[in-house]
Amino acid sequence: MKRFQLKFAFVLIAVFLLSGCWDRYELEERANILALSIDIAEEGEDIEMPEVTHSKGEFPAEEKIIYKVAAQLAVPGKIMLGPGGGDTNSAETDWLLVTYGYSMKDVLSNLQQELAEKIYLGHIQLIVVSDKIAKKGLEDIMDFLKRDYEVRRTAWIMITEGEAQEILNATPPVQTVPSLYLSGTLKDAVMFGKLPKEYLGKVWIDFSDVGVDAIIPLVKPMGDHILVDGLVYFKDYQMVGTLTPTETGAILAMQGINPAGYSNVIVPGDKKGVYLVKPFKRISKISVEIQDGKPKVLIDVKIEGFVEEQLYTNDLSKEKLQELEKSASELGEKALSSLMKRLQQDESDILGIGARVRAFYPKYWNENVKTEDDWREIYKDLDIQIKMDYKILRVGMEWK
Amino acid sequence: MKHTDSISSIQLAVIIASTIIGVSLLVLPRFIAAEVGEAAILASIVGILISLISVIAITLLARKFREHTIFGCNQLLLGKYFGNLFNYMIVIVFIVIMGLEVRQFAEVLATGLLPNTPIEISIFIMIIICALVGYSNVSTFAYIHFFYLPFLLIPMFFFLFALEDIETYHLLPILGHNLSVKQFLSGAIIMTQVITNYFVIAMLIPYIKDYENCVKHGIWGFFLGALAILYCIVVSLGVFGAKELQEMYWPILSLSRIIQIPGEVLSRIDAIILITWIFAVFTTLLSYYFVIVRGTAELFRTDKYSFITVLMIPVIFVFALIPNNVYEIYEYASKITYVSLFLFIILPVCLLVIGHFRKRTGVQ
């Protein structure tokens, strides 16, 4: 009996100590995809598609688009962590593979066919999409990304004009993993107030919301690094236009996001001198009212800034500052109004005015608007007033 | 009947709270939003208030009939045959619910955490863990709940980091769009269905030490659990909005995936939330199993709890494998909860009323 008890105890201990994991899935068995670029394959390209998910020519698409996807893979063991990592060139640590396919999963299946390790999307940092796809609509590529449980909602999505693969070719000399550098560029841009916080998860929310249209960062390849070139704005799932960095700053101001990342060039009323003023605090209030059965929008932006540079003159004083504030407010109002006009023309409601009408005036919405398309019609001729109050508090280390 | 082991009314409260926070936590915001849209918060509050009736009824029952569990009360007040009919129903309903909840748990694991592990293994292991507890000692059962409650509540503070992503226009209008009273109530009932699962306290009545406080503490425990769930609904609705919520399967899981802790101490917290949720599932299933085992034992007038525990493992396992896909699980779950709502809310209230009149006429 005692022997039996001992044996039993041994088995019990073994069960608890020697248990393993069914889903054991070691790092070196994974092909970590760090970045994806999605292009439309041009005609005449040397397209080679293995028959992985379907037989040749039997993909049942309404309009066959061949996606060209470049995947940046981390080579296991090559990435050095810590300060020693500076010695390795980024060309050694990553591996760019190009595959073709009719859909996202089709492409990745084709890619898997070429790889020994199992594709793992859990570390994906960024997804670059070419503007051609964005103009056709992002709906089709989003379903896979949303459905797959490995893809992080905090990954970045960006759009580039031209070939998206160019972005992944950027190999910055300062960091070993290019895609980490690229996603870092965007993250820092958000931190410094140059971009709104529009990562993948946020973009999905904007796409789903009624009365909100999405914005996605626009980037441009610059050889070994990238330029954050403003924003792309959408109408439903389709890209309808781009915003320059200045306009991005204006959008951020209207959203009341701090800190502000862009300085403004301001010419005072008497045309003497040019000033660069940087806002450091912005408060914005988007208020909607229903007047005579029509929504009326007032965007009230309050900005506090400081003078960063004075050019062609040297006469900064209290009076001059007041003049500067006045012309800054006027200039800002004019710029914001024309920007809003453009967005209205393109029927892109990126500030979420429709969502606000829907939230605060549900009765009006249900009687007069009902659907998002109806809202776009109303949004087109919406009366949007912009009020800006620019205050300059500081002038830097110079008295004059 | 004298019992050597007993629980305090605070432990009772803890059992209620940790039972309420359970499997459906992950999916609940989606279902309520799909039914009532932006009115989800108000509907949940109404749902909580409906469920409150059940806590009050059961704890009042506990104060009145100190020596009997709900099974005993049924037999005493409704007559032997009629009462036993309800008793059998309770046990069957709990077996079905437990099967479905184990299955939901395994589906989430298979989708989000362990894609290669067969769900049969996940289901089996969860049932085994619950069975290992052994239901012969009530205070052990209470201590397990007491031990795990902090693990359920503390990780919820991570959702505070999502507060900055909440948009006001996702939460308004508070009454929803073009909702009829019927739609609103069906949204509220979903909330009630999900949180009215603390029926296990009706099995604990003979073991409560301080009957004077059990109503008060029961309500406190109920609000602790219910408000934790409400908080999750508010945050996920505020972040995602009603439309996006309807598109995703497990909103709380997605929510934990967008949260970024400042300073990048942890880059992903979805693993922590999932582990928390596994604890939550465990404590909830523990309560269900308790009702199944103790209920069956009382039906057959035996105290061979371990025997019944082992006997029930394959039964629950089979019920867990019945649904064919994820949609069917939730279809069955919502059907069975209509029966359970009757048993968990209306039955205790009826017993209370009958008990009241019986006392007055002196028939006891």
Asked if residue B335 lies in contact with residue B320, where contact means CB atoms within 8 angstroms, the answer is: no
A 10 A CB-CB count for B4 gives 8
Question: Coil, strand or helix: which one is A219?
Answer: strand
Residue in B with minimal Cα distance to A360: B173
Length of chain A: 400
Find out whether the peptide bond into B173 is cis, omega within 30 degrees of 0. Answer: yes
| pLDDT for position B2 | 46
For residue B282, with 0-12 CB atoms within 10 Å meaning exposed, 13-18 middle and 19 or more buried, which class applies? buried
| Token reading at B84 | 């036993």
- Rounded distance between C-alpha atoms, residue A37 and residue B239, angstroms: 28
From chain B, pick out residues whose CB is under 8 angstroms from the CB of A352. Answer: 167, 169
| pLDDT for position A144 | 87
Closest CA relative to residue B259, chosen from B274, B280, B281: B274
Which CATH number among 3.40.190.10, 3.90.1150.10, 3.30.300.210, 3.40.50.300 corresponds to the domain A245-394?
3.30.300.210
Q: Where along chain A do the CATH 3.30.300.210 domains lie? A: 245-394
- Rounded distance between C-alpha atoms, residue A182 and residue A128, angstroms: 11
* CB within 8 Å of B240: residues ≥ 6 apart: A205, A208, B170, B248, B251, B254, B255
- Rounded distance between C-alpha atoms, residue B212 and residue B216, angstroms: 8
Q: Would you put residue A337 in left (φ > 0), alpha (ψ -120 to 50) or beta?
A: alpha
From chain B, pick out residues whose CB is under 8 angstroms from the CB of A212. Answer: 169
Question: Coil, strand or helix: which one is B180?
Answer: coil
- Rounded distance between C-alpha atoms, residue A350 and residue A372, angstroms: 13
Q: Where are the domains of chain B?
A: 9-355
Asked if residue B128 lies in contact with residue B313, where contact means CB atoms within 8 angstroms, the answer is: yes
CB nearest to B258's CB, from A201, A359, A366: A201
| pLDDT for position B361 | 54
From chain A, pick out residues whose CB is under 8 angstroms from the CB of B171. Answer: 359
Distance, C-alpha A384 to centroid of its chain: 26
A208:B260 CB<8 A: no
Torsion angle of alpha carbons A8, A14, A16, A19, nearest 10°?
-140
B111:A355 CB<8 A: no
CATH number, domain B9-355: 1.20.1740.10
| pLDDT for position B1 | 45
State percent of chain A over pLDDT 70.
93
- Rounded distance between C-alpha atoms, residue A143 and residue A145, angstroms: 6
Closest CA relative to residue A286, chosen from A187, A395, A385: A385
| Token reading at A132 | 């051609």
Give the range among A12-16, A27-31, A262-266, B243-247 with minimum mean pLDDT. Answer: A27-31
A 10 A CB-CB count for B7 gives 24
Exposure letters B254-263 (e unless 16+ CB within 10 A, then b): bbbbbbbeee
Q: Is the ipTM of this complex over 0.85?
A: no
A359:B116 CB<8 A: no
A146:B257 CB<8 A: no
More confident residue, B167 or A177: B167
Asked if residue A355 lies in contact with residue A211, where contact means CB atoms within 8 angstroms, the answer is: yes
Residue in B with minimal Cα distance to A354: B169
Q: Over 80: is that where the pLDDT of A10 sits? A: yes
Q: Does B34 touch chain A (CB under 8 A)?
A: no
Average of pLDDT values for B112-118? Answer: 80
Q: How far apart are the first and last CA of chain A?
A: 98
Task: Choose, out of A21, A120, A146, A149, the residue to mutate when testing the contact with B (most B CBs < 10 Å).
Answer: A149
Q: Over 80: is that where the pLDDT of A86 sits? A: no
Distance, C-alpha B288 to centroid of its chain: 9
- Say what angle helices A318-345 and A372-380 make with each other, to 10 degrees: 130
CB nearest to A204's CB, from B111, B171, B244: B244
Q: What is the pLDDT of residues B196-233, one digit of tens each?
A: 888 888 888 888 888 888 888 889 999 999 999 999 88
Q: What is the pLDDT of residues A158-187, one digit of tens each?
A: 888 888 888 888 777 766 677 777 888 888
